[in-house]
Structure 1
Protein backbone atom coordinates (compact mmCIF):
# COMPACT_ATOMS: atom_id res chain seq x y z
CA UNK A 1 0.00 0.00 0.00
CA UNK A 2 1.37 3.46 -0.85
CA UNK A 3 2.06 5.94 1.93
CA UNK A 4 -0.84 8.39 2.19
CA UNK A 5 0.32 12.03 2.25
CA UNK A 6 -1.57 15.19 3.18
CA UNK A 7 -0.05 18.43 1.86
CA UNK A 8 -0.58 21.54 4.00
CA UNK A 9 0.70 24.89 2.74
CA UNK A 10 -0.95 28.25 2.09
CA UNK A 11 0.93 28.53 -1.21
CA UNK A 12 -0.85 26.56 -3.95
CA UNK A 13 2.37 26.51 -6.00
CA UNK A 14 4.21 24.58 -3.27
CA UNK A 15 1.39 22.08 -2.94
CA UNK A 16 1.21 21.68 -6.71
CA UNK A 17 4.94 21.04 -7.06
CA UNK A 18 4.86 18.37 -4.36
CA UNK A 19 1.70 16.79 -5.76
CA UNK A 20 3.22 16.50 -9.24
CA UNK A 21 6.41 15.01 -7.84
CA UNK A 22 4.53 12.49 -5.69
CA UNK A 23 2.38 11.51 -8.67
CA UNK A 24 5.52 10.13 -10.33
CA UNK A 25 6.22 7.75 -7.44
CA UNK A 26 4.79 4.29 -6.85
CA UNK A 27 4.99 4.30 -3.07
CA UNK A 28 3.43 7.68 -2.21
CA UNK A 29 -0.03 9.09 -2.87
CA UNK A 30 -1.56 12.50 -2.08
CA UNK A 31 -4.89 12.06 -0.28
CA UNK A 32 -5.63 15.72 0.33
CA UNK A 33 -4.47 19.32 0.38
CA UNK A 34 -5.08 22.12 2.86
CA UNK A 35 -4.21 25.80 2.88
CA UNK A 36 -4.67 26.44 6.60
CA UNK A 37 -4.02 24.63 9.84
CA UNK A 38 -7.73 24.34 10.58
CA UNK A 39 -8.34 22.67 7.22
CA UNK A 40 -5.48 20.28 7.93
CA UNK A 41 -6.95 19.22 11.28
CA UNK A 42 -10.29 18.53 9.60
CA UNK A 43 -8.75 16.66 6.66
CA UNK A 44 -6.72 14.37 8.88
CA UNK A 45 -9.98 12.92 10.17
CA UNK A 46 -11.48 12.47 6.72
CA UNK A 47 -8.43 11.51 4.63
CA UNK A 48 -6.55 9.38 7.19
CA UNK A 49 -3.03 10.25 5.96
CA UNK A 50 0.09 8.44 7.11
CA UNK A 51 2.23 11.58 6.83
CA UNK A 52 1.28 15.26 6.96
CA UNK A 53 3.70 17.65 5.23
CA UNK A 54 3.01 20.80 7.23
CA UNK A 55 3.91 24.43 6.57
CA UNK A 56 4.35 26.64 9.63
CA UNK A 57 3.24 30.09 8.56
CA UNK A 58 -0.39 30.05 7.49
CA UNK A 59 -3.39 32.32 8.09
CA UNK A 60 -5.52 31.53 11.12
CA UNK A 61 -4.27 28.39 12.83
CA UNK A 62 -0.54 28.02 12.12
CA UNK A 63 1.31 24.77 11.53
CA UNK A 64 2.48 24.39 15.12
CA UNK A 65 -1.02 24.69 16.57
CA UNK A 66 -2.32 22.31 13.91
CA UNK A 67 0.44 19.82 14.68
CA UNK A 68 -0.48 19.85 18.37
CA UNK A 69 -4.15 19.26 17.54
CA UNK A 70 -3.39 16.46 15.09
CA UNK A 71 -0.94 14.62 17.34
CA UNK A 72 -3.26 14.89 20.33
CA UNK A 73 -5.61 12.39 18.70
CA UNK A 74 -5.48 8.59 18.93
CA UNK A 75 -3.28 6.90 16.32
CA UNK A 76 -2.15 10.15 14.69
CA UNK A 77 -0.15 10.45 11.46
CA UNK A 78 3.48 11.54 11.41
CA UNK A 79 4.01 15.26 10.84
CA UNK A 80 6.86 16.57 8.72
CA UNK A 81 7.35 20.32 9.08
CA UNK A 82 8.32 22.18 5.90
CA UNK A 83 9.14 25.89 5.99
CA UNK A 84 11.10 28.66 4.27
CA UNK A 85 13.07 28.90 7.52
CA UNK A 86 14.99 32.04 6.56
CA UNK A 87 13.83 33.83 9.70
CA UNK A 88 11.63 31.30 11.46
CA UNK A 89 11.71 31.20 15.23
CA UNK A 90 9.48 28.18 15.53
CA UNK A 91 11.82 25.20 15.26
CA UNK A 92 11.89 24.32 18.93
CA UNK A 93 8.13 24.84 19.35
CA UNK A 94 7.42 22.64 16.34
CA UNK A 95 9.56 19.81 17.66
CA UNK A 96 8.03 20.10 21.12
CA UNK A 97 4.62 19.91 19.48
CA UNK A 98 5.58 16.43 18.33
CA UNK A 99 6.73 16.83 14.74
CA UNK A 100 8.81 13.91 13.47
CA UNK A 101 10.89 15.98 11.08
CA UNK A 102 11.79 19.51 10.10
CA UNK A 103 12.88 20.42 6.57
CA UNK A 104 13.42 23.59 4.58
CA UNK A 105 11.76 24.45 1.29
CA UNK A 106 15.05 25.14 -0.47
CA UNK A 107 15.96 21.45 -0.24
CA UNK A 108 15.86 19.39 -3.42
CA UNK A 109 12.40 17.97 -4.03
CA UNK A 110 13.78 14.45 -4.17
CA UNK A 111 15.25 14.97 -0.70
CA UNK A 112 11.84 16.05 0.56
CA UNK A 113 10.31 12.87 -0.85
CA UNK A 114 13.02 10.83 0.81
CA UNK A 115 12.21 12.56 4.09
CA UNK A 116 8.52 11.65 3.74
CA UNK A 117 9.55 8.00 3.38
CA UNK A 118 11.85 8.18 6.41
CA UNK A 119 9.13 9.69 8.59
CA UNK A 120 6.51 7.24 7.30
CA UNK A 121 8.78 4.40 8.41
CA UNK A 122 8.64 5.72 11.96
CA UNK A 123 12.02 7.43 12.06
CA UNK A 124 12.72 11.08 12.80
CA UNK A 125 14.58 13.45 10.54
CA UNK A 126 16.22 16.83 11.00
CA UNK A 127 17.91 18.70 8.18
CA UNK A 128 21.48 19.61 9.25
CA UNK A 129 20.67 23.29 8.83
CA UNK A 130 17.76 22.86 11.23
CA UNK A 131 19.86 21.09 13.84
CA UNK A 132 22.47 23.85 13.80
CA UNK A 133 19.90 26.60 14.15
CA UNK A 134 18.03 24.72 16.83
CA UNK A 135 21.21 24.50 18.89
CA UNK A 136 22.03 28.18 18.35
CA UNK A 137 18.58 29.41 19.31
CA UNK A 138 18.16 27.10 22.26
CA UNK A 139 21.54 28.11 23.66
CA UNK A 140 20.80 31.80 23.10
CA UNK A 141 17.40 31.72 24.84
CA UNK A 142 17.60 33.11 28.41
CA UNK A 143 17.27 30.34 30.95
CA UNK A 144 16.76 27.68 28.32
CA UNK A 145 19.85 25.62 29.08
CA UNK A 146 20.70 24.55 32.63
CA UNK A 147 24.26 24.93 33.86
CA UNK A 148 24.56 21.23 34.70
CA UNK A 149 22.93 18.04 33.43
CA UNK A 150 19.43 17.42 34.75
CA UNK A 151 18.75 14.80 37.44
CA UNK A 152 16.53 13.23 34.76
CA UNK A 153 19.65 11.47 33.49
CA UNK A 154 21.08 10.51 36.88
CA UNK A 155 21.00 6.84 37.72
CA UNK A 156 19.26 5.75 34.53
CA UNK A 157 21.62 6.57 31.69
CA UNK A 158 25.08 5.03 31.46
CA UNK A 159 28.17 7.07 30.61
CA UNK A 160 28.24 5.60 27.10
CA UNK A 161 24.55 6.36 26.58
CA UNK A 162 25.19 9.90 27.76
CA UNK A 163 27.92 10.21 25.11
CA UNK A 164 25.55 8.92 22.45
CA UNK A 165 22.79 11.30 23.58
CA UNK A 166 25.19 14.25 23.44
CA UNK A 167 26.17 13.40 19.88
CA UNK A 168 22.52 12.97 18.89
CA UNK A 169 21.91 16.44 20.28
CA UNK A 170 24.66 17.76 18.05
CA UNK A 171 22.90 16.35 15.00
CA UNK A 172 25.21 13.39 14.40
CA UNK A 173 23.89 10.41 12.45
CA UNK A 174 24.29 6.82 13.66
CA UNK A 175 27.15 6.32 11.23
CA UNK A 176 28.92 9.47 12.45
CA UNK A 177 28.42 8.47 16.09
CA UNK A 178 29.88 5.06 15.24
CA UNK A 179 33.02 6.75 13.92
CA UNK A 180 33.25 9.23 16.79
CA UNK A 181 33.02 6.57 19.50
CA UNK A 182 34.74 3.74 17.59
CA UNK A 183 31.80 1.37 17.97
CA UNK A 184 29.66 -0.41 15.38
CA UNK A 185 26.51 1.14 13.91
CA UNK A 186 24.54 -1.77 15.38
CA UNK A 187 25.85 -0.86 18.83
CA UNK A 188 24.87 2.77 18.29
CA UNK A 189 21.34 1.67 17.33
CA UNK A 190 21.16 -0.43 20.49
CA UNK A 191 22.18 2.57 22.62
CA UNK A 192 19.59 4.76 20.87
CA UNK A 193 16.88 2.16 21.48
CA UNK A 194 17.76 2.02 25.18
CA UNK A 195 17.75 5.82 25.42
CA UNK A 196 14.29 5.96 23.87
CA UNK A 197 13.03 3.51 26.47
CA UNK A 198 14.81 4.97 29.50
CA UNK A 199 13.89 8.56 28.71
CA UNK A 200 10.37 7.74 27.52
CA UNK A 201 11.10 9.48 24.22
CA UNK A 202 8.93 8.93 21.17
CA UNK A 203 11.69 9.28 18.59
CA UNK A 204 15.11 10.72 17.80
CA UNK A 205 13.75 14.26 17.66
CA UNK A 206 12.70 14.03 21.29
CA UNK A 207 16.17 12.76 22.18
CA UNK A 208 17.60 15.90 20.55
CA UNK A 209 15.32 18.05 22.67
CA UNK A 210 16.25 16.14 25.85
CA UNK A 211 19.92 16.69 25.09
CA UNK A 212 19.27 20.46 25.04
CA UNK A 213 16.95 20.51 28.04
CA UNK A 214 19.30 18.51 30.24
CA UNK A 215 22.36 20.62 29.44
CA UNK A 216 24.28 17.99 27.48
CA UNK A 217 24.24 20.36 24.52
CA UNK A 218 24.70 23.99 25.37
CA UNK A 219 27.26 26.80 25.56
CA UNK A 220 29.80 24.53 27.23
CA UNK A 221 28.88 21.22 25.59
CA UNK A 222 28.80 22.41 22.02
Structure 2
Protein backbone atom coordinates (compact mmCIF):
# COMPACT_ATOMS: atom_id res chain seq x y z
CA UNK A 1 0.00 0.00 0.00
CA UNK A 2 1.24 3.46 -0.91
CA UNK A 3 0.67 6.47 1.34
CA UNK A 4 -0.18 10.01 0.25
CA UNK A 5 -0.08 12.97 2.65
CA UNK A 6 -2.49 15.85 2.14
CA UNK A 7 -1.15 18.92 3.96
CA UNK A 8 -3.75 21.66 4.02
CA UNK A 9 -6.16 23.93 5.82
CA UNK A 10 -9.94 24.16 6.23
CA UNK A 11 -10.54 23.87 2.47
CA UNK A 12 -9.17 20.33 2.70
CA UNK A 13 -10.39 19.62 6.25
CA UNK A 14 -13.90 19.90 4.87
CA UNK A 15 -15.33 22.86 6.76
CA UNK A 16 -18.96 23.36 5.78
CA UNK A 17 -19.39 27.03 4.79
CA UNK A 18 -21.05 29.29 7.42
CA UNK A 19 -20.82 26.50 10.04
CA UNK A 20 -18.24 24.80 12.25
CA UNK A 21 -19.26 21.40 10.90
CA UNK A 22 -17.11 19.03 8.87
CA UNK A 23 -17.95 16.98 5.81
CA UNK A 24 -17.52 13.23 6.12
CA UNK A 25 -14.36 11.57 4.83
CA UNK A 26 -16.10 10.29 1.72
CA UNK A 27 -17.45 13.81 1.02
CA UNK A 28 -14.31 15.92 1.35
CA UNK A 29 -11.83 15.91 -1.52
CA UNK A 30 -8.99 13.91 0.12
CA UNK A 31 -11.48 11.12 0.84
CA UNK A 32 -12.90 11.30 -2.67
CA UNK A 33 -9.33 11.05 -3.97
CA UNK A 34 -8.62 7.94 -1.90
CA UNK A 35 -11.86 6.28 -2.96
CA UNK A 36 -11.23 7.11 -6.60
CA UNK A 37 -7.65 5.85 -6.59
CA UNK A 38 -8.57 2.63 -4.86
CA UNK A 39 -11.47 2.04 -7.23
CA UNK A 40 -8.82 2.12 -9.95
CA UNK A 41 -6.83 -0.47 -7.96
CA UNK A 42 -3.97 1.81 -6.97
CA UNK A 43 -4.04 0.56 -3.35
CA UNK A 44 -3.39 3.83 -1.54
CA UNK A 45 -4.14 5.44 1.77
CA UNK A 46 -4.63 9.20 1.89
CA UNK A 47 -3.42 10.63 5.21
CA UNK A 48 -4.97 13.99 6.05
CA UNK A 49 -3.08 16.65 7.99
CA UNK A 50 -5.41 19.59 7.51
CA UNK A 51 -5.66 22.31 10.13
CA UNK A 52 -8.18 25.14 10.02
CA UNK A 53 -6.40 28.47 9.67
CA UNK A 54 -3.04 27.02 8.62
CA UNK A 55 -0.78 29.43 6.73
CA UNK A 56 2.32 28.64 4.73
CA UNK A 57 4.89 30.17 7.09
CA UNK A 58 3.06 32.81 9.13
CA UNK A 59 1.81 32.67 12.70
CA UNK A 60 -1.76 33.41 13.75
CA UNK A 61 -1.62 35.85 16.68
CA UNK A 62 -4.90 34.47 18.04
CA UNK A 63 -4.44 30.70 17.57
CA UNK A 64 -1.16 28.83 18.06
CA UNK A 65 0.23 26.26 15.67
CA UNK A 66 -1.02 27.72 12.37
CA UNK A 67 2.45 28.22 10.89
CA UNK A 68 2.67 25.45 8.28
CA UNK A 69 6.42 25.07 8.50
CA UNK A 70 6.39 24.19 12.19
CA UNK A 71 6.55 20.43 12.65
CA UNK A 72 6.31 19.68 8.92
CA UNK A 73 9.66 17.90 8.73
CA UNK A 74 8.65 15.66 11.64
CA UNK A 75 5.34 14.81 9.94
CA UNK A 76 7.24 13.73 6.83
CA UNK A 77 9.63 11.69 8.96
CA UNK A 78 6.89 9.99 10.98
CA UNK A 79 4.73 9.10 7.98
CA UNK A 80 7.49 7.87 5.69
CA UNK A 81 7.71 6.18 3.32
CA UNK A 82 5.41 8.49 1.38
CA UNK A 83 4.62 8.12 -2.31
CA UNK A 84 3.40 11.71 -2.63
CA UNK A 85 2.84 14.89 -0.62
CA UNK A 86 0.00 17.17 -1.72
CA UNK A 87 0.15 20.76 -0.44
CA UNK A 88 -2.97 22.89 -0.71
CA UNK A 89 -2.35 26.05 1.27
CA UNK A 90 -2.32 29.80 0.75
CA UNK A 91 -5.82 31.07 1.47
CA UNK A 92 -5.07 31.95 5.10
CA UNK A 93 -1.94 33.87 4.12
CA UNK A 94 -4.39 36.59 3.07
CA UNK A 95 -6.33 37.00 6.29
CA UNK A 96 -6.81 40.66 7.13
CA UNK A 97 -4.17 40.56 9.87
CA UNK A 98 -1.48 39.90 7.23
CA UNK A 99 -0.29 42.32 4.58
CA UNK A 100 0.82 39.61 2.17
CA UNK A 101 0.50 39.53 -1.58
CA UNK A 102 0.56 36.52 -3.90
CA UNK A 103 4.33 36.64 -4.37
CA UNK A 104 5.00 36.60 -0.63
CA UNK A 105 2.70 33.60 -0.22
CA UNK A 106 4.57 31.81 -3.00
CA UNK A 107 7.82 32.32 -1.11
CA UNK A 108 6.20 30.72 1.92
CA UNK A 109 5.27 27.78 -0.30
CA UNK A 110 8.90 27.49 -1.42
CA UNK A 111 9.96 27.20 2.23
CA UNK A 112 7.53 24.30 2.75
CA UNK A 113 8.92 22.51 -0.30
CA UNK A 114 12.45 22.84 1.07
CA UNK A 115 11.33 21.68 4.50
CA UNK A 116 9.80 18.51 3.06
CA UNK A 117 12.92 17.72 1.07
CA UNK A 118 15.22 18.28 4.02
CA UNK A 119 13.23 16.14 6.45
CA UNK A 120 15.45 13.70 8.44
CA UNK A 121 14.31 10.44 6.85
CA UNK A 122 15.55 7.01 7.82
CA UNK A 123 18.22 5.51 5.52
CA UNK A 124 16.69 4.24 2.31
CA UNK A 125 13.44 6.17 2.72
CA UNK A 126 12.53 8.11 -0.45
CA UNK A 127 12.11 11.86 -0.62
CA UNK A 128 8.50 12.04 -1.82
CA UNK A 129 7.40 13.92 -4.93
CA UNK A 130 5.29 16.99 -4.23
CA UNK A 131 2.05 18.09 -5.87
CA UNK A 132 1.16 21.76 -5.38
CA UNK A 133 -2.59 22.39 -5.54
CA UNK A 134 -3.29 26.11 -5.55
CA UNK A 135 -6.65 26.89 -3.91
CA UNK A 136 -9.39 28.61 -5.90
CA UNK A 137 -9.46 32.41 -5.75
CA UNK A 138 -11.00 33.99 -2.69
CA UNK A 139 -14.38 35.54 -3.42
CA UNK A 140 -16.18 38.27 -1.54
CA UNK A 141 -16.01 37.19 2.12
CA UNK A 142 -19.43 36.91 3.75
CA UNK A 143 -20.89 36.03 7.13
CA UNK A 144 -18.93 35.64 10.34
CA UNK A 145 -15.60 35.20 8.53
CA UNK A 146 -15.96 38.40 6.49
CA UNK A 147 -13.81 40.56 8.82
CA UNK A 148 -11.12 37.87 8.94
CA UNK A 149 -10.75 37.75 5.14
CA UNK A 150 -11.51 41.39 4.31
CA UNK A 151 -9.44 42.40 1.29
CA UNK A 152 -8.29 38.85 0.67
CA UNK A 153 -9.58 38.73 -2.87
CA UNK A 154 -7.34 41.65 -3.89
CA UNK A 155 -4.27 40.57 -1.92
CA UNK A 156 -4.35 37.06 -3.37
CA UNK A 157 -4.67 38.19 -6.98
CA UNK A 158 -2.33 36.22 -9.24
CA UNK A 159 -1.76 33.38 -6.76
CA UNK A 160 -2.09 30.58 -9.33
CA UNK A 161 0.55 32.11 -11.58
CA UNK A 162 3.20 32.63 -8.91
CA UNK A 163 2.52 29.23 -7.32
CA UNK A 164 3.02 27.63 -10.71
CA UNK A 165 6.33 29.48 -11.06
CA UNK A 166 7.48 28.12 -7.69
CA UNK A 167 6.36 24.61 -8.62
CA UNK A 168 8.30 24.69 -11.87
CA UNK A 169 11.41 26.19 -10.27
CA UNK A 170 11.39 23.47 -7.60
CA UNK A 171 10.51 20.54 -9.89
CA UNK A 172 7.10 19.96 -8.28
CA UNK A 173 3.87 18.85 -9.88
CA UNK A 174 1.17 21.52 -10.11
CA UNK A 175 -2.61 21.73 -10.35
CA UNK A 176 -4.81 24.82 -10.27
CA UNK A 177 -7.94 23.94 -8.29
CA UNK A 178 -9.49 27.17 -9.54
CA UNK A 179 -9.59 25.67 -13.03
CA UNK A 180 -12.31 23.23 -11.91
CA UNK A 181 -13.92 24.56 -8.70
CA UNK A 182 -15.03 27.83 -7.15
CA UNK A 183 -15.43 28.96 -3.55
CA UNK A 184 -18.82 28.92 -1.89
CA UNK A 185 -21.16 31.83 -2.55
CA UNK A 186 -22.21 31.57 1.08
CA UNK A 187 -18.87 32.62 2.61
CA UNK A 188 -16.55 33.37 -0.32
CA UNK A 189 -13.72 31.22 1.03
CA UNK A 190 -14.56 27.55 1.54
CA UNK A 191 -15.76 24.76 -0.73
CA UNK A 192 -19.31 23.46 -0.94
CA UNK A 193 -19.80 19.69 -0.93
CA UNK A 194 -20.26 19.43 -4.69
CA UNK A 195 -16.96 21.24 -5.25
CA UNK A 196 -15.15 18.75 -3.01
CA UNK A 197 -16.45 15.95 -5.22
CA UNK A 198 -15.34 17.68 -8.39
CA UNK A 199 -11.86 18.47 -7.05
CA UNK A 200 -11.34 14.98 -5.63
CA UNK A 201 -12.23 13.25 -8.89
CA UNK A 202 -10.14 15.67 -10.96
CA UNK A 203 -7.15 14.90 -8.75
CA UNK A 204 -7.61 11.15 -9.26
CA UNK A 205 -6.32 11.56 -12.80
CA UNK A 206 -3.55 13.96 -11.78
CA UNK A 207 -2.28 11.71 -9.00
CA UNK A 208 -2.58 8.57 -11.12
CA UNK A 209 -0.17 10.05 -13.65
CA UNK A 210 2.28 10.89 -10.85
CA UNK A 211 2.14 7.46 -9.23
CA UNK A 212 2.78 5.79 -12.58
Bin for the TM-score computed over the shorter chain: 0.3 to 0.5
> TM-score, length-normalised on structure 2?
0.44
Which structure has the highest helix share of the two? 1
- Could you say which structure has the greater relative contact order, defined with CA pairs below 8 angstroms and 6 or more residues apart? 2
Larger radius of gyration: 1
> TM-score, length-normalised on structure 1?
0.42
